[in-house]
Chains A and B, each alone.
Chain A
């Protein structure tokens, strides 16, 4: 065949692909790779007196990274999202507790900055179970969180969540189920999910 036809086809295919690759993937990727926690400006009052958002010392503690790995490995994100959409795209903000602490006026939709210290934002695939963006505000104690993992039907008989018995082992002294290291890490991670902190009021960070 004529070489120019071959070159034309390959060039066309490459152009068709390179445009979205650069504009839709590479540039947003590079821009987001630069993002770091943003300092609160002077005068903005924040509970706990943290200096920046997101703050690793306050909201991600203990073995939460291992916990995030357990969350991913068990496939939690196939049924649980971590996205609160703005009201034009869905009624997530109206569902009690999903957007954060409504009584304190802190509920909001999730922003890119919320995920800054994570490796992969587990936005999720389906919503078979509840959204977990702010589950750390809805379930506040370790005991209750363990109970949710070990026996979800006890809390909500209609729950569609399986019991994660393999994360627990039977205690040799007959005290019932005892959490493994994986379960403790997972609970640490889940309790740290609080994506309703006020955003730093810096020009250019909204939207």
Chain B
């Protein structure tokens, strides 16, 4: 069974929706890509500082304890949130067949968000942070961020309400979920930490917030993209709609329970880490079912992912999501997690989430969306290839070195009769891997930002055929089919 060919009216309608989304979505994508480059450079310098602590130690802003949180904030609030919001606006408009209204308001709120991220990064970097990863900015910054987020997504839910088809797409469910869940966890976590009356819960809520960002924001956005792009490019509906729905609800009901297993044996009632660990393990079922569902949909179309940049990034992101779910489940058991707790493994896992599956899938969406809303094609397939491969090398290097380095470090920490510094010395070589990985990721994103800026200022390639990774654009017989551009 294949999808129906669109009628000319439908094509015109889609073009009108794309035009309505052009300026807000391009604004979010471009500023997100700029923040991503900043974040990857900070990631590189902070990893270097972890290996060479004596480097530039006259300067307070070049300490690891300042650089690393600045890197995390730029990476998540600067890149992750903005890219996710951009995808959410466009995808929701397309799926519900509504034009994006209130572009000016969204653009203003987008500028406020960027100002908020700048404050967040600078305050932490200049030494006003509180050492809670991703929640370490001063109290007034989060009011700023949540106000502008609410201004941006206040239109998303009504759009869903005005949808014109009776079938609810799985992508829409994930988008509505992400739109509602993020402010909820963000505001809850900030209120509890801001109160300052429950010290241990402040740290616990911080861990809860990070895993909830992964399962309630990054995973829903990535899955909404995958459930859209994979059927679109394969030209057939999703393999099993009931399975997709079931795994959505499984994730929805479990994700809020995760997080406390990061503090196994910490000063919490023992049931809290235990429940979190169990939830993380059961989420594995939802994720594996979802990834299976998507890959089976692609069965017989494996050639496509050699050509289509969107599909290649998305499929890679989904594979990374499966890897993430497996590693997260393993590390939330006592037998595996007790030695990996507090080790480099944790950084590897968090980076795998934000770069490995979330960012890679979002890149897939951006390669799909931007030509449609700007009416031009990507300038160079070669640069897309550079972006894909250096990102892939980077993230795999990072995850493998942090996983093995984490085992080495955790193993040394467990040898209580050795001096403490053996754990630092023996894992130092793996930290070099982390620095190299960020250098590669940084390099790959220079070519991404360059191409995106060309598209932003209207210097894209004017052409009938889409830009593909391998063939010369528009030449190969398979090119149009490969990009799935029946529209």
Which residues does A use to contact B, with CB under 8 Å? 1-2, 5-6, 9-10, 12-14, 16-17, 19-21, 24-25, 28-29, 32-33, 35, 71-79, 81, 83, 85-86, 88-91, 94-96, 109-112, 114-116, 118-130, 153, 156, 158-166, 207
Residue of A nearest to B216 (CB): A17
Does B267 lie within 8 Å of A115, measured CB to CB?
yes
Q: Which of B53, B168, B272 contacts A161 (CB 8 A)?
A: B53
Give A153's nearest chain B residue, CB to CB.
Answer: B54
11 of the cross-chain contacts (CB-CB < 8 Å) are: A10-B180, A19-B253, A21-B188, A24-B257, A24-B260, A77-B132, A78-B64, A78-B65, A85-B341, A89-B334, A162-B54
Contact flags B34-72 to A (C-beta < 8 A → 1, else 0):
000000000000000110011001111001111011000
A144 CB → nearest B CB, Å: 17
Known: A24-B256, A125-B346. A78 touches B200 (CB 8 A): no
A198 CA / B356 CA spacing, docked (Å): 46
CB distance from A193 to the nearest CB of B (A): 14
* C-alpha spacing A83/B192, complex, angstroms: 21
3 interchain residue pairs of minimum CB distance: A75-B65, A89-B265, A85-B265
- The listed residue (A94, A109, A163) touching B416 by CB distance below 8 A is A94
Among B64, B198, B216, B417, which residue has its beta carbon within 8 angstroms of that of A33? B198
Cα A118 to Cα B208 in complex, Å, equals 20
Interface residues in B386-440 (C-beta closer than 8 Å to A): 413-414, 416-417, 419-425, 428
Q: Output the least CB separation between B478 and chain A (Å).
A: 37
Residues of chain B lying within 8 A (CB to CB) of residue A163:
53-54, 57
Is A32 within 8 A of B200, CB to CB?
yes
- CB pair B267–A111 under 8 Å, yes or no, is yes
Asked if B264 CB lies within 8 Å of chain A CBs, one says yes
Contacts of A73 in B (CB 8 A): 127-131
Contact string, B338-350, partner A, CB cutoff 8 A, digits 1/0? Answer: 1101111011000
Contact of A21 with B424 at beta-carbon distance under 8 Å, contacts A32-B201, A73-B130, A90-B338 already known: no
Interface residues on B, range: 35 or more
Instruction: Considering the complex, give the chain A residue whose CB is closest to the CB of B276.
Output: A24
- 17 more CB-based (< 8 A) A-B contacts, given A28-B204, A75-B64: A13-B180, A16-B249, A16-B252, A24-B272, A28-B198, A29-B192, A72-B131, A73-B129, A73-B131, A79-B64, A85-B266, A90-B414, A126-B346, A127-B423, A130-B420, A156-B421, A165-B58
A111 to B168 CA separation, bound complex (whole angstroms): 48
| Given A1-B166, A166-B59; A76-B338 close (CB under 8 Å) | no
- The answer to whether A83 and B265 touch across the interface, beta carbons within 8 angstroms, is yes
Q: Is the CB of B425 within 8 A of A158?
A: yes
Query: Of B157-165, B316-324, B359-367, which stretch is located at the interface?
Result: B157-165
Q: Which of A28, A72, A110 contacts B130 (CB 8 A)?
A: A72
A88 to B57, CA, bound (A): 39
Given A12-B249, A75-B69, A89-B264, A1:B131 Cβ within 8 A: no
Does B6 count as interface, using CB distance less than 8 angstroms?
Answer: no
Within 8 Å CB of A89, what residues of B?
264-265, 334, 338, 341
Complexed CA–CA distance, A73 and B216 (Å): 28
A90 to B410 CA separation, bound complex (whole angstroms): 10
Query: What is the CA–CA distance of A9 and B171 in the complex, to the nearest angstrom?
Result: 13
The residues of B that contact A95 with a CB separation of less than 8 Å are 416, 420
**Cβ of B195 under 8 Å from chain A:** yes
| Segment 432-478 of B: residues with Cβ below 8 Å from A | none
* With A33-B195, A83-B263, A163-B54: A17-B181 Cβ-Cβ less than 8 Å: yes
In angstroms, Cα B137 to Cα A72, docked, is: 11
Does A25 lie within 8 Å of B257, measured CB to CB? no
B66 contacts which of A75, A90, A94, A128 (Cβ < 8 Å)?
A: A75
* A123 and B343 within 8 A (CB): no
Determine which of B177, B181, B208, B339 lies in contact with A25 in the assembled complex, contact meaning CB atoms within 8 Å: B208
Among A13, A81, A118, the most chain B Cβ lie within 10 Å of the Cβ of A13
Q: How far is the CA of A116 from the CA of B203 in the complex (A)?
A: 13
B2 at the interface (CB under 8 A from A): no
In the bound complex, residues from chain B placing their C-beta under 8 Å from that of A96 are 416
Interface residue B288 (Cβ < 8 Å from any Cβ of A): no
Minimal beta-carbon separation of B170 from chain A (angstroms): 11
B151 within 8 A of A: no
Asked if B338 and A162 make an inter-chain contact with CB atoms under 8 angstroms apart, the answer reads no
Task: Output the least CB separation between B391 and chain A (Å).
Answer: 24
CB distance from B183 to the nearest CB of A (A): 11
Q: Tell whether, in the assembled complex, residue A13 and residue B252 are in contact, meaning their CB atoms are under 8 Å apart.
A: yes
B268 CB-CB contact with A under 8 Å: yes
Of all chain A residues, the one with the shortest Cβ separation from B129 is A73
Q: Which residues from B are CB-within-8-Å of A128? A: 50, 424
Flag whether B133 is at the interface (Cβ < 8 A): yes
Question: What 1/0 mask marks residues of chain B from 138 to 149 whose CB sits below 8 Å from any chain A CB?
Answer: 000000000000
Indicate if B199 sits at the interface (CB-CB under 8 A). yes
What CA separation (Å) do A157 and B80 show in the bound complex? 39
**Bound form: Cα–Cα A97–B399 in Å:** 33
B residues near A77, Cβ cutoff 8 Å = 131-132
Which of B202, B267, B422 is the one whose CB lies under 8 Å from A120? B202
Chain A residues, CB < 8 A from B275: 24
Residues 182-213 (chain B) with a chain A CB within 8 angstroms: 184, 188, 192-193, 195-205, 208
Asked if B58 and A166 sit within 8 Å, CB to CB, the answer is yes
Is B176 interfacial (CB-CB < 8 Å)?
yes
Task: Tell me, yes or no, whether B173 is within 8 Å of chain A by CB.
Answer: yes
CB distance from B247 to the nearest CB of A (A): 13
Interface assignment of B269: CB less than 8 Å from any CB of chain A: yes
B57 to chain A, nearest CB (A): 5
Q: Give CA–CA (A109, B163) in the complex, Å.
A: 56
Q: Which of B53, B195, B196 is A160 in contact with, Cβ under 8 Å?
A: B53
B224 to chain A, nearest CB (A): 14
Cβ contact within 8 Å between B203 and A123: yes
Task: Collect the chain A residues with CB atoms within 8 Å of residue B177's CB.
Answer: 13
Chain B contacts for A111, CB-based, 8 A: 267
Contact of A71 among B131, B188, B195, B416 (CB under 8 A): B131
B279: nearest chain-A partner, CB-CB: A20
Q: A1 to nearest B CB, angstroms?
A: 5
Contact of A115 among B68, B199, B334 (CB under 8 A): B199
